[in-house]
Amino acid sequence: MDKPFVVTGGRRFTKIEEQMIWQKPTSHKTSKEELRIAAEIKMNWLDPEMKVMNVLLEGDAGSGKTQLARALSADLQLPYTKVTCFADMDKTDIFGALLPIVKTDNEEDHELLEAIYQADSLQAVLGVIENHFQIDANQAKIRFQQLIKRIDQEDEATTVEYKFYPSEIVRAMQKGYLLEIQEPTVIRDASVLVALNSALEPNGLLNIPTGIIRRHPDCVVIVTTNRNYQGNRPLNESLRDRMQHAEKMDLPSVDVMIERAIAKTTYEDRDYLEVMALIIRLLDETAKVNAIKGVAGMRSYFFWVNSLKQGQDPLETIFPKVLYKLTTDENELKILQDALEESRLLTKLQQLKNQQKMQQGRKISQAEADDRNIFEESEEATLVSEPNQSISEDVSETNEQLAEEDPVKETTRGENTAIDEAAERGDAEAQSTSASMDEQEKVGSAMSLDEMTEMDKTKRKELNREIRATLKETIHAKEGTILHRPTIDESAIADGKKLTQIVQPEVASLSRVINDLLAKEVSTDYATGKYYGAKFNPSRVAYGDLRNFDKKNPPNEQPSLALAVRVDESGSMLKEDRIQNAKLAAVALSLFAEQTKIPLMLYGDSADLSQREKTSIYSYKEFEDGYDFLAAKISTMKPRQNNRDGVPLKLLAEKLSQQTADTKVLLSISDGQPKALPDYTGSKAQADIQQVLDDYERKGILFIACAIGDDKDQLRSLYGEGHFVDISDISKLSEQLLQLIARFV
C-alpha cells in the first residue's frame, strides 16, 4: 500500500509499538487537512530549523480532530498515544510522580494469610494451612507459630521503596511517539502547561526526578482543543506560539459529510444524507449564534444516519440523536426548531420519506407480520393478480426529463364547455328523489334514499361549519366555499351499478391478493395460528406446528393506510372521456378500500359556479361515512366550471392528518393547472398549493398528483417530481391507481 508520508522508514519498533500505530479502517475518508498536515511534516522532517513537530487542531466537538490525529499516526507510521486533560490537572500529571512500594519480608506470608482468611476457627486455620501447602498437622502448627512471631515483632521495620511512574507525555517524548494532548484549555492552573514549553522545543528537555529526558527526534505532538465551549479557556500564548502548524477544524463540507457517512454506516441514499447533513450544519450554526453550548457534529450525524438505516423515522430520531445532544432547555429547543421550520429542511426530509413510500411501498415490521400471521415475503405477491385479470406492474410512466415550463395559460378553463350556471346550482341544491326499490337494488347500502337524504342534510351543515374553521386563516376564507352532499335517484343508482360492474373484476382480483397476504385471519376479531390464545382451533392441528389457537386482536389495532381522493370536476374534464375514467377510478378505489378495510375519503370540486359560491366541494364520502350508495353518488360527477386546487387539498389534508394510520396518502386526479376567478392562477395558485404541501407533509401526508390531461409538465412543476404520476393511458386510470395504492397497504 502506498504511504507517501512515512517518516520512520529505518526505525525498528517493538511488537507493542507496532500495534500502537493506528490502522485506518475502511470507513476512513482522507480529508484535505490530513493531506496538508502530513505533507508539511514530511516535507520539513529533515530540516533541523523548520521541522514541524507540534500541531494545533482547534475546532468544534465532532469536527474530526481526534480522527485526524490518529490518521496522522497511520500516515507518518508513528505509534499513537494520547492524554486527556482535566480541570484539576497538576504538574505531576504532566511529568509523572514518585509513588511508594511496600515490600514484605517474606512473600510466602501473602499466600498463608490468604489461606487463613478462609477459615473461622483455629482448627480450621490449621486445616487450611495443611491443604494449602500440602503438609502434615505438625508442620502446619510450626508454620502458624512462625507467622505469629513475625507479626508480634513490632520492632521489625517495614521496607518502603519509591518508584517514579512517568506520565504518558514523558513516555511519548522519550520513545518518539505521536502524542495527542486533548483539551488542555480545560486546565484551571495556567502554569501547568507552561511546564511543557521547553519540551515542545525541537531539542526540548524534561527535568524529572530520575534525570533529564531529551525529546526524541521522532516525537510529534498534536494538541486538540474545542473552541469557546463551557469550561474552556484561551490557550496559553506561549504554548500556542510553539505550534508550527495550526488548523481551524470546522464541520466538513456536505459532500465530505456524505462520503464519511456512507463509509461509516454503509447507508447510501444520498438524498437523505444531503438533507440530514444540511440539518446538522444549520443546527451547528444556530447553536453558535445563540450561545447554545451543546454539539451538533459528525458523531450526531453518523448515529442519526445509522438510525435511519435501521428503519427508524429520522423526524422522530432527530430528537434523541441530535437536538437533545445540543440542549434540553425548552427555550433553546424552540430556537433550534424555529430555525428548522424556517429552513424547510424538515419538510424536505418528510418529502423524501413520502417519495420513498411512493417508490417502494411500505415494508411491515416483524411484529406487525406476526400480528397479521404473515409468514412469507409479500413484496411480489402484492403485484400479482389472478390469471386472465392481470394488473399492470407499472404504476405509472414518468417522463425522463422535465419539459420547459410553458407560460401560464390565461384562457379560462372550461370555456369550451357550455354549462348553465342555474342548472349547476339546481343540481347542487336539489332534494333527493324518493324511490321505492327492493333491498337487492340498494347497491352497497343498508338505508333508504330518504334516510340518507335526512342524514346528509344534517351532515352538510356540520361539514360547512368545519370548512369555515379550516379555511379561516387562508386566502380562501372569504371566497365563498360551499360543500354539497351529492344527491341521487334511480338513474344514478343504475349508473353506479354499471360503473361497479366494469371495475369489479380487477378490484376483486387485487383485493383477494391483498387480503390473503395481510389478513390470513379467522375473522376481523381473531388472529389465527397462535401458540396460545382464547380459542382452540382444531383445524390447525393437522399442521403440526403447535399454532393451534386463535388470539383476539387488540382493540387499538390501527389500519396501515388511510386514503383521501380528490377528483377535479372542472369543465375541461369533459374532454376525451376524462370524467368517465375518473368516475371508474373513484369507484374502483372505493370498492378496494371497502374490501380491504382502508379508511377512505372522497371529494370532487369545482369553482366559480356563482358569485356567491367561488368554490364548490362535493363530499362523496367522509372517513366516518359508510359505503351506502357510494357508486351511485360517484356517478353524479360531471364537468362543471373552474378549479381552485388549494381548497380541496387543504380540506382533505386536514382530515387525513387526523387519521391514525401509519401511511396517509392524498390522491389528486386532475387534468390541468389551477384556474379560478378573479386571479387564482400562475404564481399565486402555485404558492397556495405549495403552502398546503409544506404544511401537511410535515404531518406525514403523502401527496400524489395524478395527471391525466395536457398540462402534465405544468402539474409536474407545480407539485414537484416526487409528487407526480403521469397517467399516459387514461383508459387504464383505475387499474394503475389500484396498483399504486396496493403498494402502501
Architecture of domain 479-516+558-742: 3-Layer(aba) Sandwich (3.40)
What's residue 544's pLDDT?
A: 62
Q: Are strands 535-536 and 211-214 parallel, antiparallel or unpaired?
A: unpaired
Q: Report how far residue 47's alpha carbon sits from residue 392's, in angstroms, rounded to the nearest whole number.
A: 73
Q: Which residues contact 482 (CB under 8 A, 6 or more apart)?
A: 428, 464, 613, 615, 616, 617
Q: What sign for the dihedral angle of Cα 575, 580, 581, 586?
A: positive
- Give 589: exposed, middle or buried? Use CB within 10 Å, 0-12, 13-18, 19+: buried
Q: Are strands 220-225 and 178-182 parallel, antiparallel or unpaired?
A: parallel
- The three three-digit cell numbers of residue 121, written as one number: 476457627
What's residue 611's pLDDT?
A: 85
Q: Examine the pLDDT at 145 and tell me if it is beyond 70.
A: yes
* 726 φ/ψ sector (left φ>0, alpha ψ -120 to 50, else beta): beta
Mean pLDDT of the region 153-169: 70
- The three three-digit cell numbers of residue 110, written as one number: 501473602
Task: Give the number of other Cβ atoms within 10 Å of residue 68's Cβ.
Answer: 24
What's residue 441's pLDDT?
A: 42
Q: Report how far residue 685's alpha carbon sits from residue 646's, in angstroms, rounded to the nearest whole number.
A: 7
Lookup result for grid cell 326499490: 437
Determine what percent of the chain is predicted with pLDDT higher than 70: 76
What's residue 396's pLDDT?
A: 32
What's residue 431's pLDDT?
A: 37
- The three three-digit cell numbers of residue 492, written as one number: 344514478
Q: Examine the pLDDT at 156 and tell me if it is beyond 60.
A: no
SS3 517: helix
- The three three-digit cell numbers of residue 502, written as one number: 366494469
SS3 161: strand
| DSSP H or E run through 358 | helix 345-360
pLDDT single digits (tens) 63-90: 788 889 999 999 999 999 999 888 888 8
pLDDT single digits (tens) 407-426: 333 333 443 333 333 333 33
Q: Are strands 600-607 and 615-621 parallel, antiparallel or unpaired?
A: antiparallel
What's residue 658's pLDDT?
A: 93
Residue 642's φ and ψ, nearest 5 degrees, are: -90, -170
Torsion of CA 568, 574, 577, 580, to 10 degrees: 50
pLDDT single digits (tens) 560-569: 789 999 999 9
What's residue 510's pLDDT?
A: 77
Q: Report how far residue 655's alpha carbon sits from residue 617's, in angstroms, rounded to the nearest whole number.
A: 14
627 close to 557: Cβ distance less than 8 angstroms: no
Lowest mean pLDDT across 249-253, 280-284, 549-553: 549-553
| DSSP H or E run through 261 | helix 254-265
pLDDT single digits (tens) 446-471: 677 888 888 888 899 999 999 999 99
pLDDT band at 630 (very low <50, low <70, confident <90, very high): very high
Task: Give the number of other Cβ atoms within 10 Å of residue 443's Cβ.
Answer: 17
The terminus-to-terminus CA distance of the chain in angstroms comes to: 51
| Helix (H), strand (E) counts: the chain | 27, 19
Q: Report how far residue 552's alpha carbon sits from residue 557's, in angstroms, rounded to the nearest whole number.
A: 11
Q: Examine the pLDDT at 339 and tell me if it is beyond 90.
A: yes
15-97+166-249 belongs to which CATH class? alpha beta
pLDDT band at 391 (very low <50, low <70, confident <90, very high): very low
Q: Examine the pLDDT at 307 and tell me if it is beyond 70.
A: yes
Partners of residue 562 on adjacent β-strands = 664
197 close to 239: Cβ distance less than 8 angstroms: yes
- The three three-digit cell numbers of residue 618, written as one number: 362535493
Closest to 80 measured CA to CA, from 161, 19, 135, 157: 19
pLDDT band at 276 (very low <50, low <70, confident <90, very high): very high
Q: Report how far residue 682's alpha carbon sits from residue 402's, in angstroms, rounded to the nearest whole number.
A: 18
Q: Of 611 and 638, which is predicted with more confidence?
A: 638
pLDDT band at 663 (very low <50, low <70, confident <90, very high): confident
What's residue 652's pLDDT?
A: 96
pLDDT mean across residues, the chain: 78
Q: Report how far residue 463's alpha carbon sits from residue 31's, in angstroms, rounded to the nearest whole number.
A: 60
**What is the arrangement of strands in the sheet containing 535-536, beginning at the earlier edge strand?**
526-530, 549-552, 535-536
Q: Report how far residue 18's alpha carbon sits from residue 484's, in angstroms, rounded to the nearest whole number.
A: 81
DSSP 36-103: HHHHHHHHTTT-TTT---EEEEEE-TTSSHHHHHHHHHHHHT--EEEEE--TT--HHHHHEEEEEEEE
Q: Examine the pLDDT at 596 and tell me if it is beyond 90.
A: no
- The three three-digit cell numbers of residue 137, written as one number: 498437622
Q: What is the pTM of this model?
A: 0.55
pLDDT single digits (tens) 702-735: 888 888 877 777 778 777 776 778 776 667 777 7
- SS3 per-residue string spanning 363-401: CCCHHHHHHCCCCCCCCCHHHCCCCCCCCCCCCCCCCCC
Q: Report how far residue 296's alpha carbon sits from residue 408's, in angstroms, rounded to the nearest whole number.
A: 44
443 close to 632: Cβ distance less than 8 angstroms: yes
- The three three-digit cell numbers of residue 115, written as one number: 489461606
